[in-house]
Amino acid sequence: MKLTKIALLVGLTALVPSLANAGTLEDVIKKGTLNCGVSTGIPGFSATDSKGVWKGLDVDLCRAVASAVLGDAEKVKYIPLTAKERFTALQSGEVDLLSRTTTWTATRDTSLGLNFAGVNYYDGQGFLVTKELGVTSAKELDGATFCIQAGTTSELNLTDYFKANNMEYKGVTYDTSGQTIDGFKKGRCDAVTSDASQLYGLRQKMDDPSSTIVLPEIISKEPLGPVVRQGDDAWFNIVKWTMFATLEAEELGVTQANVDAMMKSENPSIKRLLGTSGTAGENLGLKSDWAYKIVKNVGNYGESFDKHVGKDSPLDIDRGLNNLWNKGGLMYSMPVR
């Protein structure tokens, strides 16, 4: 089933004479929609709400890119991908942009013909266990069985961590995060391991979230970011600077609510960002109001964060590493100049 889908995508590489390697920007403009690869449902990052509308931090990135390129945040076609399918879907051209909690690693960046355009969430791997188990630290998990999602860095980190601490574990690997949490619910495993941010989301899917706890240990670095095909620098620049624009807007205090008023601002940084001076947009091959559209349609990074994973969301995750650089975090936009 899944095999057929991947095999089909592989077949596509063989059939199409020359897949558009360069020119994703032209393609997207011609199509009038952005094909964005998202997850099959990770609360806070990319999941559908009760009305079937895609919401989340990763979804907001798709919307921001669509705003910058097409001027309209709604012109996105969301393509849900499992962890296994995601890279093949991007390589074969089924999606223009992969925005799906993907960890930036050396292997992925260098051997898959892909480029990571930045980091939109600094994460780390953690553990979710039932309170009934009576465990307070990951160091007490010797001999435990874990539910893991197949094809993630979590699988590899878990092996490293248990080996380093001289412990043993058993793993059951599932295809989707839904199946993973289902296995945990039914007691197939003692603990779930995944990116900490996802664990908070998965915890909400439990019948009684308070019967479980996320252990304090973070065992890895998981910088999550958007991915594009290698060899299309123009498109790579657009995705990269879309992310910077959302950060720059937050740093300069430009929000969805005040962006119209900010158009009259005399602050030279704001003028350059919103395109009232300079040629940042034109240089990217976009209209001069590209960043204005992003902030107007989607909001700045801080607003997206608070709405989907931060203080205004059920996940209620602390900004932590994901705060701006001048507020103790790692989020740093290169200057728009």
Partner 1 sequence: MNKTKLPEPTSNGFLNNPQNRAIIYQVAALLFVVFLAYYFTSNMFENVEKRGITTGFAFLDNTAGFGISQTLIEYSDATSSYYDVFIVGLLNTLLVSVIGVFLASVLGLLIGVGRLSQNYLISKLSMVYIETFRNIPILLQILFWYNVVLAALPSPRQSFNYLDTLFLNNRGLLTPEPIFESNSIFILVAAVLAIIGVIFLGRWAKKRHDLTGEEFPLIKVSITILILAPTLVFFISGQPISAEYPVLKGFNFRGGLTIIPELLALIFALSIYTATYIAEAVRAGIEAVPSGQKEAAKALGLKDYVILRKVVLPQALRVIIPPVINQYLNLVKNSSLATAIGYPELVTLFSGTTLNQVGQAIEIILMTMAVYLTISIVISLVLNWVNAKMAIKGR
Q: Is the dihedral of CA 114, 99, 181, 136 positive or negative?
A: positive
The Cα 208–Cα 256 span in angstroms is: 36
Residues 117, 150, 181, 280: which binds partner 1 (CB under 8 A)? 150
The Cα 263–Cα 276 span in angstroms is: 7
- CB of residue 47 vs partner 1: minimum separation in angstroms? 21
Residues 3, 32, 208, 210: which binds partner 1 (CB under 8 A)? 3
The Cα 329–Cα 48 span in angstroms is: 29
- Is residue 175 part of the contact set for partner 1 (CB under 8 A)? yes
- Is residue 23 part of the contact set for partner 1 (CB under 8 A)? no
Cβ proximity to partner 1, 159 vs 277, nearer residue: 159
- Which amino acid would we find at residue 139? K
The Cα 171–Cα 154 span in angstroms is: 11
- Is residue 152 part of the contact set for partner 1 (CB under 8 A)? yes
Structure tokens, 18 = 């020359």
- Is residue 98 part of the contact set for partner 1 (CB under 8 A)? no
- CB of residue 113 vs partner 1: minimum separation in angstroms? 4
- Is residue 106 part of the contact set for partner 1 (CB under 8 A)? no
- Is residue 26 part of the contact set for partner 1 (CB under 8 A)? no
- Ranges of beta strands (E only) in 169-215 are 170-174, 191-195, 212-214
Per-residue interface string for the shown chain with partner 1, residues 110-149, x marking contact by CB under 8 A = -xxx-------------------x--------xxxx----
- Is residue 53 part of the contact set for partner 1 (CB under 8 A)? no
Residues 34, 81, 138, 158: which binds partner 1 (CB under 8 A)? 158
Transcribe 61-97 into DSSP letters.
Answer: HHHHHHHHHHS-TT-EEEEE--TTTHHHHHHTTS-SE
Cβ proximity to partner 1, 87 vs 200, nearer residue: 87
The Cα 51–Cα 55 span in angstroms is: 11
- CB of residue 28 vs partner 1: minimum separation in angstroms? 18
- Is residue 214 part of the contact set for partner 1 (CB under 8 A)? no
Per-residue interface string for the shown chain with partner 1, residues 262-301, x marking contact by CB under 8 A = ----------------------------------------
| φ, ψ dihedrals at 63, nearest 5° | -65, -35
Structure tokens, 74 = 């709604």
- CB of residue 241 vs partner 1: minimum separation in angstroms? 23
Structure tokens, 91 = 């390589």
Of 132, 140, 139, 155, the C-alpha closest to 213 is 132
Please give the C-alpha separations between residue 153 and each of 222, 235, 286, in angstroms, as whole numbers: 8, 26, 35
Structure tokens, 173 = 């690997």
Residues 172, 214, 263, 321: which binds partner 1 (CB under 8 A)? 172
User: Using CB under 8 A as the criterion, which residues of the chain lie in contact with partner 1 when the complex forms?
Assistant: 1-3, 6-7, 9-10, 13-19, 21, 83-84, 87-88, 91, 107-108, 111-113, 133, 142-145, 150-152, 155-156, 158-160, 162-163, 169-175, 179, 183, 186-188, 190, 229-231
